[in-house]
Structure formats: C-alpha cells, structure tokens
Amino acid sequence: MRKHIFPLIIALLFVTGNVVAHSISRTGPLPEKTPQEIIKDYIKAIGGEEKITGIKTIVLVMEAEIQGMKIEIDTNRDMEGMRLMQQMVVNGSVIQKTVVKNEEGYMSAMGQVKSLSADELETLKTNIYAFPELYYEEMGFTVTKGENATIKGEDAYMLLVTNSAGLESKEYFSVASGLKLKMVADVAGDVEFDDYQEVEGILFPMKVTISNPMLPVPMETHVVSIALNEPLDNSLFE
C-alpha cells in the first residue's frame, strides 16, 4: 500500500502549488541570485512573510479526475499544533487518509492502517506548513543553486532542495514573477503549478498537474475552496 500511495500523497501536499509534463531546456545567462534571494523573491511574490506567518490553519479542497473517476482531496493543516490530515474521497467514501500529529503519523487505505516510517514522517511534517520554503533553514534543509531552465516558456531559476531525511527535489522559480512553476522529485514525480489566484492577500496555485509513475496518466487537480484560519475539529486528526 505504502509503495503506491505515498508518492501521490507527497505530490498532493505540495499544493497549498496541460496534461503532459513540460519540457525543460537550458537558457542563457540570467541575473545572478543566491538561493536565499530566490526564496525571498518567491515569498514576496505570493504575499509576503507577514501574511504567510499569519496563517494558522488552512482547509483546502481539490478535485481531480482519473480515467473517468472523480476524486476529492481534502487537506487540513494546523501550523500552530503541527498537525496534518489529508484524505481522498470517491463517491462519498474515504479511500485513503493520512494523519500527522504529536511527532507520529499513519496512513490508512483499503482497510489497512500503517504507521509512517521515520523518513516518511519527516517528509510529511515539512508539508504541515502551507509554504515550507519560509522554514527551510529552520528545518535543516540544504538549498543550493542548480542550472537555469525554461519552464512553460518562462526563464526559471532552479534550486536543489534536500530535506533532513536526505530526499532531494528540484524546484523551479520564474525569473519574471518569482512564483514557483514546477517541482521535480523522485518521490512525488513532476508537479506543475499554474493559475495563481489571490485568497486573502496570498497567491495560491489553483491548478496543479501531477505526473508520477504510479499514475496511469498525469493528474490535473483544481482547487475548489481554500479557507484560512478557521477552527479545526480535533476529530479530523484521529
């Protein structure tokens, strides 16, 4: 169960950010910036540090369709209590649920419940934050500059990000807008972020496309609703 579901969970949790993966090619020289400056530009572009740190909870509802099957993905983040719950619902029934709280977590699917391994827990804890980029240094991440690229026709900086569990991802940020365009990781696959829209002064990607070997075709997800700083029922995290 874990082998097939965990990569999809990770990919979906990168949403807070065409049905085929866009090609990546080298570009010419771009303005020189450090990894810290690129992340700072991104934080500013989506609304600024003050607004982001003002988010205490997020309730996110997304919809997707795979081969005619409609899926609802509900994610509840509690940044103050360091709790996370995500579930996938098909035809009104929960087919998968993931919970992280009190420094432990589990996944349930198809009647099976599995505790998260130490590495899985460390990876999912990162995504309790709506915008983990702001906390990379605090969480012990290593961030270095990679090769510049062109993503969907835009010049982009690439950052190599390694989390405390040793998992590496490539994150691409628009030179023009500062927004995150794409993430590539062995666990999550390719995750593309599009259609940024403002919610209470913060930009969120309303369309996210996930390409992953565990999926028969790339999955295009659309945000249905985002609610910020609403009280969360403790039963969600049981």
Cβ burial, residue 236 (10 Å; 0-12/13-18/19+): middle
Which pLDDT score, from 0 to 100, does residue 90 have? 93
For residue 38, give the DSSP letter: H
Other beta carbons within 10 Å of 43: 18
Q: Is 134 helix (H, G, I), strand (E, B) or coil?
A: helix
Q: Which helix (H) or strand (E) holds 77?
A: strand 69-78
Q: What is the pLDDT of residue 4?
A: 43
Q: What's the chain's length in residues?
A: 238
DSSP annotation of 21 reads P
Classify domain 2-18+25-224 by CATH architecture.
Clam (2.50)
Mean pLDDT for 225-234 is 97
The pLDDT tens digits of the residues spanning 151-197 come to 989 999 999 999 888 889 999 999 999 999 999 988 778 999 999 99
CA dist 45 to 16, 99, 151, 196, 200, Å?
15, 30, 18, 11, 14
Is the pTM above the cut of 0.75? Answer: yes
Banded pLDDT at 74 (limits 50, 70, 90): very high
Provide, rounded to the nearest whole percent, the portion of the chain with pLDDT above 90. Answer: 70
DSSP helix/strand/coil, 163: coil
Percent of the chain with pLDDT strictly greater than 70: 88
Q: What are the two backbone dihedrals, phi and then psi, of residue 219, each rounded to the nearest 5 degrees?
A: -105, 120
What's the whole-number average pLDDT of the chain? 88
Cα distances (Å, whole numbers) of residue 205 to 5, 48, 69, 119: 23, 16, 23, 27
pLDDT of residue 188: 78
pLDDT at residue 21, rounded to an integer: 33
> Which pLDDT score is estimated for 108?
94
pLDDT classification of 23: cutoffs 50, 70, 90? very low
Q: Are residues 23 and 84 in contact, defined by beta-carbon separation less than 8 angstroms?
A: no
The predicted structure's pLDDT at residue 10: 56
